[in-house]
Amino acid sequence: SAVISQKPSRDICQRGTSLTIQCQVDSQVTMMFWYRQQPGQSLTLIATANQGSEATYESGFVIDKFPISRPNLTFSTLTVSNMSPEDSSIYLCSVEDGRQSRETQYFGPGTRLLVL
Amino acid sequence: GNSVTQMEGPVTLSEEAFLTINCTYTATGYPSLFWYVQYPGEGLQLLLKATKADDKGSNKGFEATYRKETTSFHLEKGSVQVSDSAVYFCALRTSYDKVIFGPGTSLSVIP
């Protein structure tokens, strides 16, 4: 399966600031996904990022708050803007690995964010 | 819409006990079904999957069978170990739509 890395692995931030999370994949993938996992909760899809097009956001998530870049087929960033304590979560990058099977998603290790 | 329901946790078992985590789903069409595992402090790992009715997914001693008639995909393991302590997520995906995750079931295995 694809090997996915994320930076930073964790961070503590002050409210009102922004944090950019990077996701790097060891192979070219068409679709990349960003999820949020609030403490003790399941995963919620934030957006789908395809290379060369605008990200598609799920209900409840907007581009101004969570801008996403997808400059090439191996890399994406998610920015959490104007943070508040409610943004404290684990943020996970995910990809489809077309070499395996398109319906399966694989996940990065996550970025643990605490907003004070 | 599509949804996944899992048994409530947390589940606490003694080492070598038998494990069952129930998962049922509601979906239009014919979904693929997955179990993901999240070890403490880590991201999600794909544990096993099944893509059509009566398929059995298996990995690391875990098994789950895709039961279309009962819309279920229960996770089982014959003898759990302390290292199996984690949160387990059942999930489905239909025709390249987004993945729908269940709420997760926390498992603690005590020596």
| pLDDT the model gives residue A101 | 60
Name the residue of chain A whose CA is nearest to B98's CA. A45
Is residue A91 within 8 A of residue A13, CB to CB? The reply is no
Q: Which residues of A touch B51 (CB under 8 A)?
A: 101, 103
Beta bridge mates, B21: B75
What is the C-alpha to C-alpha distance for residues A5 and A8, in angstroms, rounded to an integer? Answer: 9
Task: Write out the two tokens for B106.
Answer: 């926390």
Name the residue of chain A whose CA is nearest to B89's CA. A42
Residues A80-94 pLDDT 10s: 999 999 999 999 999
* Interface contact flag, A107 B43, Cβ < 8 Å: yes
Per-chain mean pLDDT for chain A: 92
| Identity of the residue in B32, B98, B104 whose CB atom sits nearest the CB atom of A45 | B98
Q: Give mean pLDDT in consecutive 10-residue pieces for chain B, a chain of 111 residues.
A: 89 97 92 94 92 94 96 97 96 83 95 94
| pLDDT the model gives residue A100 | 59
* Interface contact flag, A103 B42, Cβ < 8 Å: no
Name the residue of chain B whose CA is nearest to A110's CA. B43
Give the CA count within 13 Å in the CB-facing half-sphere of B110.
Answer: 5
* Minimal C-alpha gap between A16 and chain B (Å): 26
Residues A98-108 pLDDT 10s: 665 666 888 99
pLDDT at A73 over 70: yes
B69: CB partners within 8 A, 6+ apart: none
Which residues of chain A are at the B interface, by a Cβ-Cβ cutoff of 8 Å? 1, 6, 33, 41-43, 45, 48, 58, 90, 92, 101-110
pLDDT at A39 over 80: yes
| pLDDT the model gives residue B9 | 84
> Rounded to the nearest 5°, which phi and psi values hold at A94?
-140, 150
Output A100 or A39, whichever has higher pLDDT. Answer: A39
| CA angle, residues A6, A9, A14, in degrees to nearest 5 | 120
Output A63 or B30, whichever has higher pLDDT. Answer: A63
| pLDDT the model gives residue A99 | 61
Q: Which residues of B touch A107 (CB under 8 A)?
A: 36, 43-45
What is the C-alpha to C-alpha distance for residues A8 and A102, in angstroms, rounded to an integer? Answer: 27
Is residue A7 within 8 A of residue A20, CB to CB? The reply is no
pLDDT at A76 over 90: yes
* Minimal C-alpha gap between A102 and chain B (Å): 7
Is residue A17 within 8 A of residue A114, CB to CB? The reply is no
Name the residue of chain A whose CA is nearest to B97's CA. A103
Provide mean pLDDT across the span A32-37.
Answer: 95
